[in-house]
Structure 1
Amino acid sequence: MAERTQDQAAEGTPTSYGFCSWHQRFAEDVRLIDVIEQGSGSGHVHYACGPCRKTHRLVPYADR
């Protein structure tokens, strides 16, 4: 059985699967970190997985 490398989410906390902008791969438990709005075109959003949030001391956008 494969060992999980992600931290377990608290019970009742939704988790998501998506692309981590920091380690450039898909991962579980990604959270929105930053929204860059651009007036004349599409903006950018940055998501980070649990280990990248911990390593780079990233605070999720919703927790600010």
Structure 2
Amino acid sequence: MPVAKVAEEHGISPATIYSWLGKTIKVQPSWKEFSKLEKQNKELMALVGELTINLSQAKKKN
């Protein structure tokens, strides 16, 4: 559906829709950045798991 038609149906200007789309596109990471963040997240989750185990073992010793 054309942007002009959607804008008209909702009582807003096409420029407003394009402005929203522009802001949304700028906020979204690229696939390369997403993959990098996903890898970093997995590494951090593994580290949290390891530290949790270490803490649990240290508490048992005391």
Q: TM-score, normalised by structure 2?
A: 0.17
- For CA contacts below 8 A with separation 6 or more, give which structure has more relative contact order: 1
Which structure dedicates a bigger proportion of its chain to strand? 1
Under a length normalisation based on structure 1, what TM-score does the superposition of the two structures give? 0.17
More helix, by proportion: 2
